[in-house]
Chains A and B, each alone.
Chain A
Amino acid sequence: MTDIPAHLPHRYPFLLVDRVLEREPGRSVVAEKLVTNGEPYLQGHFEGRPIVPGVLLLEMLAQAGGFLEADSLHGAAIFLAAVQDARFKAPALPGDRLRLEVQAEGAFAGLLKIKGMVSCEGRELCTATLLVKRL
């Protein structure tokens, strides 16, 4: 799946998913984000030493999690409700092809629990559990 903007309402500079490789709505998603030197946040994070901010890795997982929903999220009110057990093991750098893997752990009363991992060429960069709330 390559028509990402048709599904997610996020736009430049905050659209952080480039491709969806595998997708089983309600269960799991595998997506990709390609990091380039052109990313606006790398200008200042940090001067002379570009590193993707850890919070943006969490946002990438949240956006990949948007593809767990079968329907387009345009017009949907969805917010991050909690971040649990986040671990950052290695930095993401320009040139990295980030693999975003998310799994649905369960849902109740509009809350969805997602387990996610960001990796690059088989190296684990970040793992976290996210809770998103749909109003």
Chain B
Amino acid sequence: MSDLKLRVKEMIIERLKLEGMAPEQILDDAPLFGDGLGLDSIDALELVLGIEQVFGVKIEDEAAGMKAFKSVQALTDFIAEHAKV
């Protein structure tokens, strides 16, 4: 697992208080919303704030969110693409 992807999973677990869940239990390609992790719109806001705080990447609107929240892989790619290192 790439370092960034692991950090993304750790951020998801911490921010959404998914206690007892390990990063490797979150599948790279499983959808975050709906059938996958089953997150809701409140979780989406928490993730947007977490991503901004931890990675300094802003998800500006729902269109960007739709793309970024497809899966952990998509979110990792989104952060890698937008992060200013």
Q: Which residues of A contact B (CB under 8 A)?
A: 81-82, 105-111, 113, 131, 133
Contacts and interface: CB of A to CB of B under 8 A. Distances in A.
Interface of B: 41-42, 44-45, 48-49, 52, 59, 61-62, 65
The 3 A-B pairs of least Cβ separation, nearest first, read: A108-B48, A108-B45, A111-B45
Nearest to A107: B45
Which of A81, A109, A111 gathers the greatest number of chain B CB atoms within 10 Å?
Answer: A109
9 contacts: A81-B41, A106-B49, A108-B44, A108-B45, A109-B44, A109-B45, A109-B62, A113-B45, A133-B41
A106 B44 CA distance: 12
B44 A113 contact: no
Contact of A106 (B41, B42, B52): B52
Nearest to A133: B41
A131 B41 CA distance: 11
A109 B62 CA distance: 6
Contacts of B52: 106
Nearest to B66: A109
Contacts of B62: 108-109
A111 B41 contact: yes
Given A82-B42, A108-B59, A131-B42, A113 B49 contact: yes
A133 B42 CA distance: 9
A79 B9 CA distance: 31
Nearest to A113: B45
Nearest to B53: A106
Nearest to A111: B45
A36 B48 CA distance: 41
Contacts of A105: 49
B60 to A, nearest CB: 9
A81 B44 contact: no
B70 to A, nearest CB: 15
Contacts of B65: 108-109
